[in-house]
């Protein structure tokens, strides 16, 4: 039992939650490493939503709300950490929610879909086909889901799949703490923020955003600026670390 | 099965190797997340041995070669990723190799010692006692090993144990990708490089270093400089990442 006043309480509880989810088959072993990697970058942005990340989150809301066929793609780590937040976002923006796994087995897909449903998500689980121009299991998605979506939110996505979706002409919104990753750099819009801080901010923005703000944000999407700002936050913090 | 054409093949294979080693009891749970944190920092130094890291590696070789009782302390992650590299380094510098675990059980110690032996390491496995000034399992080490060593190489060490060894008057060489960690900051000499790149460089230096270079390196150890250089590499890389 982790004491609630522990300075790293939130981080330790999250790790414990992920460890439990590995035992249940929701999170792949490799998901723990990916999470650790995210932790290091989160540390460098100060474990808070920066102002540029907040702008990206409001822009994500604008893109999801104006999409014709928005889809949220969920993997094991996202489901383990943010199932309730995904449910709230779905209610606020009306997107389809589809499970797509890097380490894919049909059993894992079903366990994760069930977890999402228990958290109130309306899961889109039509038959998956190999539709993306990628080798192996990464090619799988659903024809009426991600394949025909115009806007796709991919929290914690693999770089190859992100690039493939962009190449297919989709507007891709990534949530990725690493501003240098291929995912972060190839996405249309990258939110450099931790998943469970980012999702509620997008949901909140969906509820309160005005038409003029929506238009203004969409017309001024500048992912290079957003990534530069995230990097500036990190270099500032690193430069003063030995002071 | 990870597709060999994946641009992050090496990193993904390493993660898979660690996951396998968790199943075998070699790597602790927490080792996976710790590895991920290291990956993030490795990313930021460009996944290569920087010139300051190479200097640290050559200095480590000089310190190991001139030690009276050099010891290499091996934990689960180190054994999982670098057992053969540890074996080669032991042959080059003549150090004792001792297994010390943060998440210690006698069963894990034996599994890891066996893995090392299979990779050609001459493991020093005398009886462990609670000899370090630390609470709980972190206090364990061997009297004729780490306890009486003058130079200790600790790849991937816990901050508390690193500090305790320094306080005991030992020369502590750490391998740690996070230049901000307590381990990196408290060690006598910190190699900010990835384990399986760092170990072969130390081994190579052990074989080819001259007496004058050895003396010059040992007389000019400056860990603050090495850490500053690592941070400079990271901030430089981050700053130009989007160019």
pLDDT tens digit string along B50-100? 999 999 999 999 999 999 999 999 999 999 999 999 999 999 999 999 999
pLDDT at A1: 59
Q: pLDDT higher for B104 or A67? A: A67
Residue A2 has pLDDT above 80, yes or no: no
Q: Taking CB atoms and an 8 Å limit, are A40 and B36 in contact across chains?
A: yes
Helix (H) or strand (E) holding A130: strand A128-130
Please indicate whether, in this complex, the C-beta atoms of B35 and A38 are within 8 angstroms of each other: no
pLDDT mean over B135-152: 87
Confidence of residue A8 (pLDDT cuts 50, 70, 90): low
Whether A131 shows a pLDDT value over 90: the answer reads: no
Q: What is the pLDDT of residue A3?
A: 67
Residue written as tokens 């641009």? B7
* A30 vs B15, B180, B235: nearest CB: B15
Average pLDDT, chain B: 92
pLDDT of residue A84: 97
ipTM over 0.95: no
Nearest beta carbon to residue A30 from set B19, B34, B41: B19
Element containing residue B175 per DSSP (H, E):
strand B171-175
**pLDDT, mean of residues A194-205:** 97
**B191-235 tens-digit pLDDT:** 999 999 999 999 999 999 999 999 999 999 999 999 999 999 999
How far lies B86's CA from each of A40, A114, A237, B115, B121, in Å?
27, 45, 35, 11, 7
Give the per-residue pLDDT at B85. 98
CB pair distance less than 8 Å for A36 and B33? yes
A224 touches chain B (CB under 8 A): yes
Q: Which pLDDT band holds residue A6 (cuts at 50, 70, 90)?
A: low
Alpha-carbon separation of residue B116 from A200, B93, B121, B122 (angstroms): 47, 17, 5, 8
pTM for this prediction = 0.86
């Amino acid at each position: 039992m982790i004491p609630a006043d522990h300075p790293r309480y939130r981080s330790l509880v999250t790790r414990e939650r992920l460890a439990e989810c590995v035992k249940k088959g929701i999170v792949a072993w490799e998901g723990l490493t990916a999470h650790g990697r995210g932790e290091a970058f989160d540390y460098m942005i100060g474990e808070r939503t920066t102002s540029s990340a907040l702008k990206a989150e409001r822009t994500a809301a604008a893109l999801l709300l104006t999409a014709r066929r928005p889809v949220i793609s969920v993997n094991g780590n996202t489901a383990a950490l943010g199932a309730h937040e995904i449910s709230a976002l779905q209610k606020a923006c009306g997107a389809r929610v589809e499970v797509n796994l890097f380490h894919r087995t049909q059993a894992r897909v079903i366990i994760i879909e069930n977890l999402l449903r228990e958290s109130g998500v309306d899961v889109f689980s039509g038959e998956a086909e190999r539709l993306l121009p990628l080798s192996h299991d990464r090619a799988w998605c659903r024809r009426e889901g991600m394949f025909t979506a115009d806007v796709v939110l991919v929290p914690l996505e693999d770089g190859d799949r992100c690039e493939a979706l962009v190449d297919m002409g989709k507007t891709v919104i990534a949530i990725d703490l690493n501003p240098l990753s291929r995912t972060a750099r190839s996405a249309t819009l990258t939110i450099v923020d931790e998943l469970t801080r980012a999702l509620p901010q997008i949901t909140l923005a969906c509820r309160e955003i005005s038409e003029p703000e929506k238009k203004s944000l969409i017309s001024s999407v500048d992912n290079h600026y957003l990534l530069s700002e995230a990097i500036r936050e990190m270099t500032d913090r690193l430069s003063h670390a030995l002071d």
